[in-house]
Structure 1
């Protein structure tokens, strides 16, 4: 499919910029949250054999019952505001679920599941990564990066394996179809996946000519509301955002599949995060 080179959409510039700056501020506020992903202090894969970890009390494992923690006489956790000791069983964790119902002191213990693997992550507001975070710079908003394309849905969603930023984890996503668009003389096809951690809509993870130069090398994310029957669509690359793995080694975020590794440089959206030395 070859599309006509799109023209820059006509927008109300003050309204467009105000909305973009509000989006940026919301992203920064979320990142700076005391219990946001910058406070992940570690990540551990749980298995059938009980394991102890330096950052959390107890020995942790996964059984048919769910996630099991066994606490010594000196160890305590609070679950749903109630103190627990000895052996405690959490209900099984669903794929892409985030469960934060356990804590000790100021640290929250998060259970999640990615690619069929149950993960444990302590969330510590005093973690050094959060303390050293400075900002996420971004390209200036420009209507040029609102790109017109064509959404071509698949006849049925395709179960698609997507590599994760943490070795040994593979995401399974429903691929819904492709958005085809021309940009700077190149025809590009982005594979879009259903939902995401935030739910709703669709998203694509991709790299482009800026990756590893001014933007995070492994992947960035763009969301879209896809027309159910296919047809014309606009992608606002000004709203291209970083995934958690651009900030922390403790997030198994999806990486760009081969099809979504674009050659064209998309100089829009968020750049590589900045941390203090």
Structure 2
């Protein structure tokens, strides 16, 4: 991951044809080159992301943080193929998703990417187990029994698999959502404020599971959060401000992350 170029350079053309592909490395789960996302045109144009270069390492838990409006959710949505890009290129493993047609992109998201959102998005008429396997059932894929058992064991809901969402606590529902994201053994899991609707105890349970899914199951997690405590569960934190990557931190702690965020706030208001 690298520092971004000067934001006052001349605007680049709105296509990615002139953006060279970086060498593919097996240790990278997702990457972006010169990723730009702009809204509007001319003098009123706003760049949510401005020529961002980023590598997401495989088998690691990466948190993305930044002030409101910094571009962190936009970055996650573009990396996950949930939003189009104005310029630049994005890869999931060795597949460039910015060149895929809608049908191909939909299939890639279904088969190779897992999602966890602030809202649990569970179907109330289905049991926990049925919610976990639902995406694979829709796609006509049979889950790997051994892997599914590992995920269910890691999420700690073996005795809740026959319960419906209304019979589960908020933390348990989010753990079902996490297990659903992991059940197909995706290349990468994107989590957008996954503890936003949870109390501190339930949030810690979910974050502990996400970390274990990386350390024990070998998954790759990218999490957008505003909470320094949540970010401390990650292996590394990437900080965004004004559409640019401005800093990175390995082995984060809540106090270190909070101090770094305070520094950014001072720079923005000073």
Bucket of the pairwise TM-score, normalised by the shorter protein = under 0.3
**With structure 1 as the length reference, what TM-score do the two structures score?**
0.26
Specify which structure has the higher proportion of strand.
1
User: If you compute each CA radius of gyration, which structure gives the higher value, 1 or 2?
Assistant: 1
Per the normalisation by structure 2, the TM-score is 0.26
Instruction: Compare relative contact order (CA 8 Å, sep 6+) and give the higher one, 1 or 2.
Output: 2
More helix by percentage: 2
